[in-house]
Amino acid sequence: MTKSTETTYDLVIFGATSFVGQILTDYLFNTYGVNGEVTWAIAGRSESKLSTLKSRLGEGAGELPVILADATDEQALKTMCEQTRVVISTVGPYALYGEPLVKACVETGTDYCDLAGEVQWIRRMIERYEDQAKASGARIVHCCGFDSIPSDMGVWFLQQQAEKIFGEVCQDVRMRVKVAKGGLSGGTVASMINVAKEAAADPKLRKQLANPFSICPPEHRSKVRQPNLKGAEFDKTFNVWLAPFVMGAINTRIVHRSNAMQNARYGKEFTYDEAMMTGRGAKGRLTAYGITAALAGFLTASAIKPSRWFVEKLVPQPGEGPSPEDQKAGFYDMRFVGRTGSGKTMITKVTGDADPGYGSTSKMLGEAGMCLAFDIPAEQPGGFWTPASVLNSQLLERLTSRAGLTFEVVETR
């Protein structure tokens, strides 16, 4: 049964005192205020930390409501969900802490979005709760940060433009990260380590992780072999060397699910992959090989218990991150090359004006939550969606008008 729309809040930030949660709280407070056009609250398990967060926000924050709930307390989570239309969760790694909240949202018909980048956990949530979400009306949207909004919405935008200009979609799309300034968040690194740990212990999971359609409905498959860059490679389109992109493993899965959820709008044999540009000439080639080796070493070390302890000591910890100044100094530029069945080519780009893992991610997540609360029709069915398949044009407008992203066509031929 769908939950009543008579709720106290439009949205609640769960995990507001986490590193990204604090940035998100700052963003919503400075952008929308308190008890204005948006009614919202912050939530977490520590009353003292939530009070400290409020006091740091400044004048007017005293009116910001606080909800106490632990990630493992199902009754408290359900009570929280019953008070709001949307929950935004920043509590990860989600494979360790995320399921009780998803369950509570599904049971109460509450919309939900998060920063999850753990494909194995997303698959489990879909298998366990999708039917119930459809019945209750809960719209569940994972991956609403740097993984995977720029990729997912970037492909959606390119396909929109291809239909408009060429009269057909692009059957093949390749995303290339031209430049990105800013590090991975501690939470993202912890999630990657947990994925490597789970995969090392489960051969079945390793097979799932290798499947580009692992979170698509069972009937959505392609007979065309999907590209999958595993080492250094030269890209003739941009005349640069490429290396694997660490976020590609989750982004490609989300893009394929978006295609499936839109009834194969990009084509049943649609192909997609991601990589990062490392430069031209000998220097670019050496950088590509270096990144490939470093990434392989990180994943291998994370999968083995003795070396995993060492890796965990070296990388950023959950809750750690750059200063506000460093966040604002970050940026990214991603290029998308699409080719139609008739041979036409389109190149588009997506840019962000802040550190991808923190500053830009918090704005994208906040606007995804706002989009769920205010822009999606009540009759939109419940279930497990992706940013592009359910938020699409409404989110694109919010990203460009408020979140510092740009989407533009660079070239057509």
Per-residue pLDDT for 312 more than 70?
no
Is the backbone peptide bond immediately before 222 cis, with ω within 30 degrees of 0? no
In angstroms, the Cα distances linking 264 to 224, 371, 390 are 14, 24, 14
Rounded to whole angstroms, how far apart are CA atoms 130 and 121? 13
With cut-offs at 50, 70 and 90, classify the pLDDT of residue 287: very high
**Which pLDDT score, from 0 to 100, does residue 1 have?**
32
pLDDT digits (tens, 9 = 90+) for 101-148: 999 999 999 999 999 989 999 999 999 999 999 999 999 999 999 999
DSSP per residue over 115-182, as a string? Answer: ----HHHHHHHHHHHHHHHHHHT-EEE---BTTBHHHHHHHHHHHHHHHHHTSS-EEEEEEEEEEEES
Are 383 and 139 within 8 A, CB to CB?
Answer: yes
Question: What is the pLDDT of the chain when averaged over all its residues?
Answer: 91
Q: Which residues contact 296 (CB under 8 A, 6 or more apart)?
A: none
With cut-offs at 50, 70 and 90, classify the pLDDT of residue 202: confident
Rounded to whole angstroms, how far apart are CA atoms 387 and 258? 8
**Which pLDDT score, from 0 to 100, does residue 316 have?**
63
Which amino acid appears at position 375 of this protein?
Answer: D
pLDDT digits (tens, 9 = 90+) for 370-409: 999 999 999 999 999 999 999 999 999 999 999 999 999 9
How much of the chain, in percent, has pLDDT values that exceed 90?
76
Each domain of the chain, given as residue ranges in start order, spans: 9-145+360-401, 149-356+404-412
Question: What dotted CATH number matches 9-145+360-401?
Answer: 3.40.50.720
**Which pLDDT score, from 0 to 100, does residue 3 have?**
43
Closest CA to 311 of 237, 401, 169, 200: 200
**Which pLDDT score, from 0 to 100, does residue 183 have?**
63
Comparing 190-199, 220-229, 233-242, 269-278, the range with the smallest average pLDDT is 190-199
**Which pLDDT score, from 0 to 100, does residue 119 have?**
92
Sign for the pseudo-dihedral over CA of 152, 331, 193, 364: negative
Are 93 and 190 within 8 A, CB to CB?
Answer: yes
Per-residue pLDDT for 308 more than 70?
no
**Which pLDDT score, from 0 to 100, does residue 317 have?**
64
With cut-offs at 50, 70 and 90, classify the pLDDT of residue 322: confident
Per-residue pLDDT for 92 more than 90?
no
Work out the average pLDDT over 330-338: 97
Are 137 and 376 within 8 A, CB to CB?
Answer: no
pLDDT digits (tens, 9 = 90+) for 210-263: 899 999 999 998 888 999 999 999 999 999 999 999 889 899 999 999 999 999
With cut-offs at 50, 70 and 90, classify the pLDDT of residue 311: low
Burial letters for 168-184: b for 16+ Cβ neighbours within 10 Å, e otherwise?
A: ebbbbbbbbbeebebbb
**Which pLDDT score, from 0 to 100, does residue 4 have?**
46
In angstroms, the Cα distances linking 65 to 39, 60, 349, 372 are 9, 11, 39, 20
In angstroms, the Cα distances linking 317 to 167, 188, 191 are 48, 9, 11
Q: What is the DSSP letter of 407?
A: E
Which amino acid appears at position 56 of this protein?
Answer: R
Rounded to whole angstroms, how far apart are CA atoms 112 and 97? 15
Q: Is the pTM value of this prediction over 0.85?
A: yes
